[in-house]
Amino acid sequence: MSILFINGSPNKNGNTTRMANALMNGKDYRTLHLVDYRLYGYGQNFADDQFAEILEGMKEADTVVIGSPVYWHSMCGLIRNLIDRFYGPVSQGELGGRKFVFLFQGAAPEKWMLERAEYTMNRFARMYGMEYVGMATNEAEAKKLSEKI
């Protein structure tokens, strides 16, 4: 079983990564830091864009974990940009058979922020055929989800 953690935080060793470590609970996994990739906005076409590499990593994994800090009451721009890029080049159901977990951490997010983020990521997972395992907002919740991946 292979697990890919896509880290949306610009801080490679920050709270989002710590939460991923709690989720993995000793499991072997690969980390892709979005800050290291050129991922242009939806509708832009540049030869050095690396969306295809990121998508290929997701296709190779049995479980996909996406982590985002809470920025401006929502998921960070790198993650938002990544999911926006799925429109068009990725067919509905194309990532079928994979499990999907969303890690969303921040300083005291409000209930409405969590509800909107979970709705978006649950819908994203289902649209592309993945089994939505759940969302964790702290290390304790991540450790509970660990049993499901």
**Annotated domain spans of the chain:** 3-148
What pTM was computed for the model?
0.94
Report the distance separating Cα 70 and Cα 77, nearest Å: 10
3-148 homologous superfamily: Flavodoxin domain (3.40.50.360)
Q: What are the tens digits of pLDDT across the range 92-148?
A: 999 999 999 999 998 878 898 899 999 999 999 999 999 999 999 999 999 999 999
Beta carbons within 10 angstroms of residue 140's beta carbon: 9
The β-bridge relationship of strands 131-136 and 99-105 is: parallel
Task: Decide if 46 contacts 38 (C-beta within 8 A).
Answer: yes
Tens-place pLDDT, residues 42-73: 999 999 999 999 999 999 999 999 999 988 77
Phi, psi (rounded to 5 degrees) for 102: -115, 130
